[in-house]
Chains A and B, each alone.
Chain A
Amino acid sequence: MSTMIETESLRFAYPADEGQKPVYALRGVDLTIEKGSFVVILGHNGSGKSTLAKTFNAVLLPAGGKVYVEGRDTLDQEFLLAIRQRVGMVFQNPDNQIVANVVEEDVAFAPENLGVPTEEIRRRVDNALRAVGMDEFVTHAPHLLSGGQKQRIAIAGVIAMEPACVVLDEATAMLDPLGRREVLSTVHRLNREKGITVVLITHHMDEAEKADRVIVMNDGRVDLDGTPQEVFGQVARLRHLGLTVPDTVDLLDRLRQKGLDVPLDALSVETCAQAVAGALRKS
Chain B
Amino acid sequence: MLKDITLGQYFPGNTPAHRLDPRTKILLVVLYITALFTAGSFLAYGLMAVVLAVCVRVSKVGLKALVKGLKPVLFIIVFTGILNLFFTPGENVLWALGPLQITAGGLRNAAFMVLRIMLLIMGTFLMTYTTSPISLTDGLERLLNGLKRFHVPVHELTMIMSIALRFIPTLIEETDKIMSAQKARGADFESGNLMEKARALVPILVPLFISAFRRADELATAMECRCYHGGEGRTKLHVLRYERRDYVALSLGVLILAGVIALRVFGK
- A and B in direct contact, judged by CB atoms within 8 A: yes
Contacts of A96 in B (CB 8 A): 214-215, 218-219, 222
Q: How far is the CB of A52 from chain B (nearest CB, A)?
A: 15
Q: B219 and A101: CB pair below 8 A?
A: no
Q: B227 and A104: CB pair below 8 A?
A: no
Complex alpha-carbon distance, A109 and B228, angstroms: 8
Contacts of B225 in A (CB 8 A): 57, 59, 84, 88-89, 158
Complex alpha-carbon distance, A89 and B215, angstroms: 16
Indicate whether A115 sits within 8 Å of B235 (C-beta atoms), given known contacts A97-B218, A97-B219.
yes
With an 8 Å Cβ cutoff, the count of chain B residues facing the other chain is: 32
The segment from B23-31, B34-42, B160-168 that touches chain A is B160-168
Residue in B162, B219, B226, B234 whose Cβ sees the most chain A Cβ within 10 Å: B226
Out of A95, A105, A115, which one reaches B215, CB within 8 Å?
A95
Complex alpha-carbon distance, A113 and B226, angstroms: 8
Complex alpha-carbon distance, A95 and B10, angstroms: 18
Q: How far is the CB of B258 from chain A (nearest CB, A)?
A: 36
Which residues of B125-147 have CB atoms within 8 Å of chain A's CB atoms? 132-134
Query: Is A147 an interface position by the 8 A CB rule?
Result: no
Indicate whether A112 sits within 8 Å of B237 (C-beta atoms), given known contacts A88-B225, A96-B222, A158-B226.
yes
Query: Is A117 an interface position by the 8 A CB rule?
Result: yes
Q: A116 and B235: CB pair below 8 A?
A: yes
Per-residue B-contact encoding for A78-101, CB less than 8 Å = 1, 0 else: 000100110011010101111111
Query: Is A233 an interface position by the 8 A CB rule?
Result: no
Q: B132 and A112: CB pair below 8 A?
A: no
Q: B237 and A161: CB pair below 8 A?
A: no
Out of B132, B223, B235, which one reaches A121, CB within 8 Å?
B235
Contacts of B169 in A (CB 8 A): 143
Per-residue A-contact encoding for B221-259, CB less than 8 Å = 1, 0 else: 111111111000111111100000000000000000000
Indicate whether A110 sits within 8 Å of B227 (C-beta atoms), given known contacts A96-B218, A102-B132, A118-B235.
yes
Contacts of A98 in B (CB 8 A): 166
Per-residue A-contact encoding for B153-189, CB less than 8 Å = 1, 0 else: 0000000001101100110010000000000000000
Q: How far is the CB of A118 from chain B (nearest CB, A)?
A: 5
Q: How far is the CB of B95 from chain A (nearest CB, A)?
A: 50
Query: Is B207 an interface position by the 8 A CB rule?
Result: no
Q: Which residue of B lies closest to A57 (CB)?
A: B225
- The A/B interface has a contact count, at CB < 8 Å, of 101
Contact count band on A: 35 or more
Complex alpha-carbon distance, A190 and B235, angstroms: 26
Query: Is B72 an interface position by the 8 A CB rule?
Result: no
Contacts of B133 in A (CB 8 A): 101
Query: Is A125 an interface position by the 8 A CB rule?
Result: yes
Query: Is A114 an interface position by the 8 A CB rule?
Result: yes
Q: A112 and B170: CB pair below 8 A?
A: no
Q: A114 and B227: CB pair below 8 A?
A: yes
Q: How far is the CB of A133 from chain B (nearest CB, A)?
A: 20
Contacts of A88 in B (CB 8 A): 225-226
Out of B170, B233, B234, B236, which one reaches A95, CB within 8 Å?
B170
Q: B132 and A105: CB pair below 8 A?
A: yes
Complex alpha-carbon distance, A101 and B214, angstroms: 20
Out of A108, A113, A143, which one reaches B170, CB within 8 Å?
A143
Query: Is A48 an interface position by the 8 A CB rule?
Result: no
Query: Is A174 an interface position by the 8 A CB rule?
Result: no
Q: How far is the CB of B31 from chain A (nearest CB, A)?
A: 26
Residue in A113, A125, A141 whose Cβ sees the most chain B Cβ within 10 Å: A113
Residue in B169, B221, B228, B237 whose Cβ sees the most chain A Cβ within 10 Å: B237
List 29 A–B pairs whose Cβ atoms lie within 8 Å, in order of A's numbering. Answer: A59-B221, A59-B224, A84-B224, A84-B225, A84-B227, A89-B225, A93-B215, A93-B218, A96-B214, A97-B222, A98-B166, A99-B219, A99-B226, A101-B10, A101-B132, A101-B134, A105-B134, A105-B238, A108-B236, A109-B228, A110-B227, A113-B227, A113-B234, A115-B234, A117-B235, A118-B238, A140-B12, A158-B225, A161-B227
